[in-house]
A and B are shown apart, each in its own frame.
Chain A
């Protein structure tokens, strides 16, 4: 990758500090780079630190060591608003107040582009919200309360909020969780559209087939006994999603088949 990498993770060590305890690393040291218009999928077994990694990129977790740089600037040196104009994060779950509608939630994504005293949306903001609602198939739901939606619909509404931030980098933590097949595929289509617009995407995924057909590069995170997890391999799907590496990381036997659309299909068996 080139010098102009949008996001550059260097020697990053992550962990959760408990007061009084000696800091224990959960993940790292790890390195990764991502350019604009690229999709990186993070894969790995439960509890290996995929979400931890994405939280560090989302500035929810301060690194114990190392740096995360966005366009050559340490993300921790930016103000909240500066950061939010460049990076949007869709967490696995979000508290949403009972009285908030889909349109209201999506509109909150415009906040980083507004002054603190602006409480309503301007006409340009409204246009962006409207387009986002159309893109995510949320138009019919826009006046519904978010808390009354299904899990997948909710996830799309939260994604809508993130897209309204008009970020250069979009971070997704298991975005397909709770979505039906159609919306999973539609989501991945949307990610490809965003990629076409030059947006970089980092997403935690579980489905190997979806990851290999969507992502430009894949990071495989491996949990290690008695020490912190590491990125076992990073690169194109064909290089990373090999039977040997997958068996090492996931502890299952995986065979790869060619689907009739040219995509890889992964069949797994217990060891």
Chain B
């Protein structure tokens, strides 16, 4: 429904402004406007605020939006691909693999700035393994490609193994400060993200989004089941791989920026599908918007709820998003039953 999509867009834009204005120093939207519109006339105090906003709040706000958007679109792709409303980016093992990559980077003595790259490599390696494990062995199915239940199962298994490995490493090196850094990152924090970290990830996210939008027809055909999609002329295996590739790239980019922020990949697409609906393309846009909305709200709360202290984004996401989701679900239940 385009009206709801429009409302969602407005909500995201308002939250973006709110995230720029709110924080330890609160400014009004009017001041924000003048800071950017008329920088020459600023006095010294305003110049300091302008720097805070352009160097800290802007990249952080964009990071939050980008993380939510990526995870939500990845979740949407996986939910459609697996025809399972419970699928989310973490089930494919991408996130935990990325975390292992990051852990390697930190304990291998690599520069902290290289962590996102290491996370991407770890995520991609785990996904490759998951895909390899989920290839269907049945010849009688013909070109059936990847077995989605196997994909989810092996994803869960690899996720558990990765998490266990990380916990082991964390407990062995618990005294070192590096493990604190890793722990903080794992909890899902996006503080201190700078433009230099944001740029490469934006490129990855763009690539993921382009693939996602190019494969909406394939997604629709696959929603009829792999066999029927093949009967309608689709090359099932390559379509599945492209869609998975998009989901993996988006998830890895998000995880490398923010660590493990759960829930948004599960709920973002649910909101999009239940409350916007429409064609796959519309739902994809709606997923991106609702994901950004969720992380923007969560980050705003993370920075403002307790003054002078920052809360982990991942926990707030689950604490805040969970009840909202349950409320929406309960409300929507009546509608489903009324049908």
Contact = CB atoms under 8 A, between A and B. Distances in A.
Contact of A84 (B139, B223, B232, B281): B232
B74 interface: no
Contacts of B37: none
Contact of B142 (A59, A97, A109, A161): A59
* Most central of B137, B224, B227, B233 by chain A CB within 10 Å: B233
A168 to B, nearest CB: 14
A91 B221 CA distance: 15
Interface residues of A, number: 36
B223 A97 contact: yes
A80 B228 contact: no
A65 B10 CA distance: 62
A108 B137 contact: no
B231 interface: yes
Given A99-B273, A111-B232, A16 B140 contact: yes
B184 interface: no
B221 to A, nearest CB: 6
Given A95-B224, A111-B234, A119 B217 contact: yes
A257 interface: no
Interface in B189-237: 214, 216-218, 220-221, 223-225, 227-228, 230-236
Interface string B123-150: 0000000000000011111110000000
A165 B232 contact: yes
Contacts of B137: 19
A116 B216 CA distance: 10
B238 to A, nearest CB: 9
Interface residues of B, number: 33
A165 B140 CA distance: 24
Contacts of B279: 104
A62 B140 contact: yes
B331 interface: no
B216 A112 contact: no
Given A60-B142, A94-B225, A112 B339 contact: no
B93 interface: no
A108 B224 contact: yes
Contacts of A88: 231
B230 A80 contact: yes
A17 B281 CA distance: 39
B228 A91 contact: yes
Contacts of B220: 100, 104, 108
Interface string A75-95: 010011101110011010011
Contacts of A60: 141-142, 227, 231
A161 B283 CA distance: 23
B217 A59 contact: no
Contact of B233 (A19, A91, A112): A112
Contacts of A165: 232-233
B233 A148 contact: no
Contacts of A16: 140
B231 A59 contact: yes
Interface string A101-135: 00010001101100011110000000000000000
A84 B225 contact: no
A17 B140 contact: yes
A205 interface: no
B278 interface: yes
B279 to A, nearest CB: 8
Contacts of B234: 80-81, 111
Contacts of B214: 117
Nearest to A161: B232
Contacts of A119: 216-217, 281
Nearest to A95: B225
Given A99-B273, A111-B217, A118-B217, A58 B232 contact: no
B278 A99 contact: yes
A139 B228 CA distance: 24
A96 interface: yes
8 closest Cβ contacts across the A-B interface? A112-B233, A84-B233, A81-B233, A119-B217, A97-B223, A111-B232, A95-B225, A62-B140
Given A81-B234, A111-B233, A165-B233, 6 more contacts: A17-B138, A58-B231, A79-B235, A94-B225, A116-B235, A119-B217
